[in-house]
Structures are given as C-alpha cells and as structure tokens.
Amino acid sequence: MGPRTRPRALTATAPEPELSVPPFRSKPRFEQRLRLLRALGTGFHAASLTAAAGVVAVLGAIALLLAVRSQEAFSRFGPRFLSGTLWDPVHGVYGALPAIVGTALTSLLALALAVPVALGVAIFLSEFAPRWLREPVAIAVDLSAAIPSVVLGFWAFLVVGPIMGHTVEPTLAAFTGGTGPFAGTPTGYDVLTASVVLAIMIVPTIAAISRASLSAVPRVQREAALTLGATGWEATRTAVLGPARLGIAGAVLLGLGRAAGETMVVAMTIGNIYQVPTSLFSPGQSIASEIIGHLESALPGEQSGLFALGLLLLAITILINVGARALIWNFSSTTPARRGPVGRRTAALRALEERSTGSPPAAASAGAGGTGELGVSTVRRGAARPGAARRWKHRTMVAVAGLATILALVPLVAIVGTAFVQGGGAVIHPGFYTRELPAACNPTGGSRCPLGGIGPAIQGTILLLAIAAAVAIPVGLLAGIYLAEYGRNRLGRVLSFFTEVMAGIPSVLIGVFVFLLLIATDPTVTYSALSGGFALSILVIPIVTRVTEDALRAVPVHEREAAAALGYPKHRITLRVVVRSARTGIVVGILLALARAGGETAALVYTAFGSPFFLQGLDQPVASLPVLIYKYGFVSQYANWSADAWGATLILLVILLLLSLATRLAARAPSTDQGNA
C-alpha cells in the first residue's frame, strides 16, 4: 500500500476519480464543466486582483495628475514657491508659505489640545468605567466621529466663533497682556478657533484607536500589577500604557493626518486671509481651505499654483498616514497577546514589585522559578496595601479621565441641541421636504421672508449615494476578497497597507482629481451628478475594501476546509461559504461607509457643484444636503437661506447619527451568520 497523500487545502482543481465519471458521452461534458470551473476561478482571481490593485492605482493617479498640472508653478517659481508669501493672481505671483504655516499651526495645536482629552477618554473607557456605563459612552463617543465636517464647521462658525471672539480670546489676551502668541485683536475667526474646532473633530478618532490599543494589552498584565499592590492608575501607567504605546502613537499620527487634510472646518473658522500668522489671534489660511475657496474662480496660472498646493498636501498626508499605519501594524504584530499569556516585566513593574514587597526584584522572581516572569503567587503574599497618597492619586486620575470623557461628549450634545433649536421650526412643515429653495431675502422693518425647502438636496443626495454605491460596492468587495483570500503574501500585504493609506487621503484632493480627470476626458460632465457620484465612490471604495477584508479574515478556517473537502473550487468556497458567513459585518461596513459619504462636502463642491433645482439630468449639476449647508448657510448671508440650511443640518445630522447608531449596534450584536452558513 503506497503512502497516503495529503489533500491540498482550499483547492479542488483536480478531476474526480474515474469511477465517478459516467461512461460514454458524460465524460466530455464533465471535462468541459471542469475547464469552465477552472476558467471561472482564474477569472475571479484576476478580477479581484485587478480591483485591489486599482484601489491603490488611484492613489498613484492622483499624485501623477496633480504633478502634471502643477508643473507650471514649480518650473516658474522653483523653491520660491515654497518660501513665497504672496498669492497675487493679478500679477501672477504665487507663494505657498502662508498656507503651509497655517496648516502646520492649526494641525499641531489641534493635536496638542486633542491628545490629552482623547487619551483620557480611552483610559476611562478601557480601564476605569463600570461595565454598565462603558458601552453606551463608547457608542456616544463613536457617534461624535460621525458628525459631518460641514455640520461641525457650520456650528463652529455660528456658535464657537462668537464665543471665542467675545469671551475666550479677550480673556486670554487680558491674562497674558496681549503679547506673544496671544497678541493682536481677537476676532473669533483665526488660527486658535480653527485649532479648537479641529481638536473637537479628531478627539473621537484618536480615542477610538487608543482604546482599541489599550484593550489589546492582555488582562494578566493589569492583574499582575494589581497583585504587586498597585492602584488602578499605577497598573494602567506601568502595565498598559507602555505596551500600547505604538498603537497610541499611530492613533495620534492618524489624528494629525486628518487635521492636516481637513477642509470645511478650517475654511469656516480660520478667517481666510492669505498671510503668515503672527499670533494665534491672526486670521490665516490652510492648504485645503485655499484650494476649496479659490479653485472655482481661479485663472489658469493660479490653477497651477492651487494644484501645486494640492500636491504638497497629498505628500504631507501620505507621509503622515504611512507612518501611522506602520506603527499600528507593528503594534498589531508585536502586541503581548501574540507573544504569550504573560508579557515581560517592564522597568516600572520591577520598581513597583520592589516597593510593594520590600525585597529586590530577583527575590520575587525566584518565586517564578527564576525565569524573570511575574511571580504572582509569591508577590501576592508580600504586597502591601497602597498608601493614602497613592489612593488619592488614583481617584484623581479617575476623575480627570471621567472629566475628559464628559468634555469629549459636550460638542455632540451642543451640535444636536443647536440644530434642533435653529432648524426645528423649518423641519415641521411638510413642504420643507418637497419644495425648492426660496428667493434670497433678508427681513426688514418687521417683514418676514418666505422659507422654501430642501427637496432637490434630498433627491440629489440619494442619487449621489446610489451612484457611489453602484461603483464602490462591487469594486470594494472584489478588492477585499482578494486581500483576505488570495493576498496572504507580500503583494497582498503591500496592497492592504496602501489601501488603508488611501482611506486617509483628504476628500478635497479626490474632488480635485475627478475635476481634472473629467476636464481632460469629457468636460461636459465635469459638474454633474455622475462626477459627484464618482468622487464619492473613490471615498467609499477603500472603506468597503477594508471592512470586507476584516470580515472575511474573521471567518474560521475550518469552514473553508470543510467546503474544500466537498470538492468546491476556491472561488465558490469564497462566494458561497466565506462571504455568506461574513455578510453581516460586510453590510454594516458598507452602511458606515455610505454614512460617511452622505456627509461629504469637499469632494462635491467641484464635481456635483450644487443646484437650487430638482434634477435636470445625470450630466447636469445636482443639489446635495452638505453642499446646500455650505453654500447657503456659510457662504450666503440671507436669513431665509440660513434657516433652510439649519433645517438641512438637522435632517442630515439625524439621518447620519441614526444610521451610525444602528450599524454600530448591529456590529456589536452576536452574529448568527456562521451558525447558519
């Protein structure tokens, strides 16, 4: 009897035994079917690889197109473009320094304000919060990340700006004597206000990733520190923050990348004066806000300068996102949970052990067999109860982390409350959902201006999301399938890494990319529903790809092996077994991606463009709720348009928050897909 051969896992390409093939004319039909299955498998593999490579290729196409269109500015001014301080379209002089400085100042200051709050939120939710409070507060913090940037900017423009200009900034100027970084006249629309609002925006992002990093540290590390006599805060500081530092650093860098590429929030709060800021009270300009504010009316020479700014922004965000993703990937591959049940003792733990037991670390280690691991059974008997000062320090840190969590939730409550107060009067009228916008009007002498509706914006938003979904869902699913099922190699890891980087590209650059691409290919649809939907699809595809990859990788291997044992080819195993088992996670991810696209503004300003009328055709400009809020709430100064913009803000906010809440609850609920597969 010859040696038994091991079946090849996940591949069923060999023909069945000869006995299973019916005689005569059935054998050619079987061989024909086998060739067909092999061709389908090869085609499916090629299609999924093409989709995954195409997602990353878009990143290269954006860089290439911006580089080509900015060549005039760089060749004409050279290094002076980076150091110049003038932006003068009349005389054709362009310098990027004010925009670069404005971007750096607002991003770094926002990071300095956001990181302590975000870390406090992460520590409170992962270490200190009681179980009954942890989940609802975590969901509320996650919902804060779902607030569209145009809504946050509109609220900041009308609420935060006046508070900063009338109260906060005069107080800071009086306290410091109006010197140094607080010199100048407080206006409320300057570098400081933009930084504060950016900090509000990035806190949920940093907090969510930091919380995941802290939760990934094995529980035994905390228990070992507590066994040594540490308080809860000491256990967190010595046994948790150190191992999670790479993940936290990645979260901070991702927050910095989002702040650097943010468009709408900065455009609505920074003052939009092209100058190098001399203090925090100086109005300024960022790269993204300069592009969004001037591309529509720019002359050809100025357009080249704006595209050069876009290329600089792309380089900055790619570098930041690559660094952040590298840190997070490194943390995921080196987390203590992957190295064993008990991690190595840190220097802080050794010092804590010596202080708690009154013996040198070597003596305590001897109780663990001299291996250098934590001798839990030995040190438990010698651990001393923390002193009063240490217990008070623990309580103080718990209170600080709790206050940081409350502070992080204040903007969510304030934005929702303001939207209900300002927009509630408009949304109660049925005609508000079906009529077009009214003629512009400001009330005078006790007269009242007629209110209109947001019917075209609702119609356009649904249409744009439908176009985006039709393009993004199949491409994202195929790309995610390749990364999860075929991409377990170096190429797959590279494509997966840069797909995550692609998800961090500023949306204003995607809008500019589609704008340039359509001008070069078909100018008749540059401002249209088709171009807007295409721009949104580029935003959605990387997110769908990532959630599909994660959902498929979570499916147990034995399900694939069982299907392979039945003779299924690889592509049928993937479609009939793996995708079916992961369908809940995939659907939840797709809904979250569409929720993000539904609040997107910067990518639509120069693609869908906006319109006060109902749809005239797919090749014509189309209205949308985010663009309506920006153009009729922020740009225009008419009272009735502002009232309609607040009503649109309330509708958009409620829809996106409810959708985000439903999908997050569905994601946390136990899934029965695998049991039914």
Q: What is the mean predicted confidence (pLDDT) over 463-488?
A: 95
Q: What is the pLDDT of residues 317-370, one digit of tens each?
A: 999 999 988 888 777 766 544 444 334 445 555 555 555 545 444 433 333 333
What local confidence, expressed as pLDDT, does residue 297 receive? 85
Task: Give SS3 for 622.
Answer: strand
CATH code of the domain in which 520 resides: 1.10.3720.10
pLDDT range class, residue 538, cuts 50, 70, 90:
very high
Sign of the torsion formed by the C-alpha atoms of 55, 57, 58 and 62: positive
Q: What is the mean predicted confidence (pLDDT) over 228-243?
A: 90
| Amino acid type, 507 | S
pLDDT at 673 over 60: no
4 in any annotated domain: no
Q: Are 271 and 280 in contact (CB under 8 A)?
A: no
What local confidence, expressed as pLDDT, does residue 462 receive? 96
Does 215 share its domain with 309? Answer: yes
Does 413 share its domain with 500? Answer: no
96 in any annotated domain: yes
Does 536 share its domain with 482? Answer: yes
Does 247 share its domain with 275? Answer: yes
Q: What is the mean predicted confidence (pLDDT) over 402-427?
A: 94
Q: Give, in order, the Cα–Cα distances in Å from 460 to each of 491, 600, 616, 617, 618.
A: 39, 13, 11, 11, 10
pLDDT at 103 over 50: yes
Q: What is the pLDDT of residues 619-631, one digit of tens each?
A: 999 999 999 999 9
Does 405 share its domain with 513? Answer: no
* Distance separating alpha carbons of residues 128 and 401, to the nearest angstrom: 8
Does 360 share its domain with 400? Answer: no
Q: Are 203 and 119 in contact (CB under 8 A)?
A: no
Residue 310 structural domain: 75-343+387-427
224 in any annotated domain: yes
CB atoms within 10 A of CB 364: 23
What local confidence, expressed as pLDDT, does residue 226 receive? 86
CB atoms within 10 A of CB 530: 23
pLDDT at 19 over 50: no
Kindly compute the dihedral angle of the four CA atoms of residues 197, 149, 287, 87, in this order, to the nearest 10 degrees: -90
Q: What is the pLDDT of residues 258-283, one digit of tens each?
A: 999 999 999 999 999 999 999 999 99
User: Strand pairing partners for 609?
Assistant: 622
What local confidence, expressed as pLDDT, does residue 347 receive? 53
pLDDT at 102 over 90: yes
User: Strand pairing partners for 284?
Assistant: 271
36 in any annotated domain: no
Q: What is the DSSP letter of 88?
A: E
Q: What is the DSSP letter of 94?
A: E
Does 277 share its domain with 245? Answer: yes
Q: What is the mean predicted confidence (pLDDT) over 276-292?
A: 95
231 in any annotated domain: yes
Q: 449: left (phi > 0), else alpha (psi -120 to 50), else beta?
A: beta
Structure token digits, residue 357: 């037991």
Q: What is the mean predicted confidence (pLDDT) over 94-109?
A: 96
Structure token digits, residue 55: 């997602």
Does 467 share its domain with 362? Answer: no
Q: Give the closest residue to 481 by CA, choosing from 568, 367, 578.
A: 578
- What total number of domains does the chain contain? 3
Does 122 share its domain with 132? Answer: yes
pLDDT at 582 over 80: yes
What local confidence, expressed as pLDDT, does residue 178 receive? 87
Which of 331-340, 360-369, 407-416, 452-461 is predicted least confidently? 360-369
Q: What is the mean predicted confidence (pLDDT) over 108-133?
A: 95
Structure token digits, residue 366: 């001897």
215 in any annotated domain: yes
What local confidence, expressed as pLDDT, does residue 336 receive? 47
* Distance separating alpha carbons of residues 384 and 354, to the nearest angstrom: 11
What local confidence, expressed as pLDDT, does residue 301 receive? 87
447 in any annotated domain: no
* Distance separating alpha carbons of residues 173 and 163, to the nearest angstrom: 14
Please report which helix (H) or strand (E) contains residue 392, including its range. helix 388-427
* Distance separating alpha carbons of residues 590 and 674, to the nearest angstrom: 19
Q: Give, in order, the Cα–Cα distances in Å from 268 to each of 34, 57, 153, 233, 420.
A: 62, 33, 6, 40, 21
Greater pLDDT, 366 or 443: 443
Q: What is the pLDDT of residues 148-180, one digit of tens each?
A: 999 999 999 999 999 999 999 999 999 999 888
196 in any annotated domain: yes
From 331, 360, 386, the end of a domain falls on 386
What local confidence, expressed as pLDDT, does residue 514 receive? 96
CB atoms within 10 A of CB 85: 13
Does 241 share its domain with 361? Answer: no
pLDDT at 382 over 90: no
User: pTM for the full model?
Assistant: 0.87
What local confidence, expressed as pLDDT, does residue 26 receive? 58
| Amino acid type, 441 | C
Does 339 share its domain with 353? Answer: no
What local confidence, expressed as pLDDT, does residue 338 receive? 41
Q: In the chain, pLDDT over 70 holds for what percent of residues?
A: 87
Does 191 share its domain with 254? Answer: yes
Angle (deg, nearest 10), helices 97-123 and 300-334: 30
- Residue-averaged pLDDT of the chain: 86
Structure token digits, residue 561: 């092996």
Please report which helix (H) or strand (E) contains residue 217, including its range. none
CB-based contacts of 576, cutoff 8 Å, min separation 6 = 563, 568
Structure token digits, residue 651: 């509708």
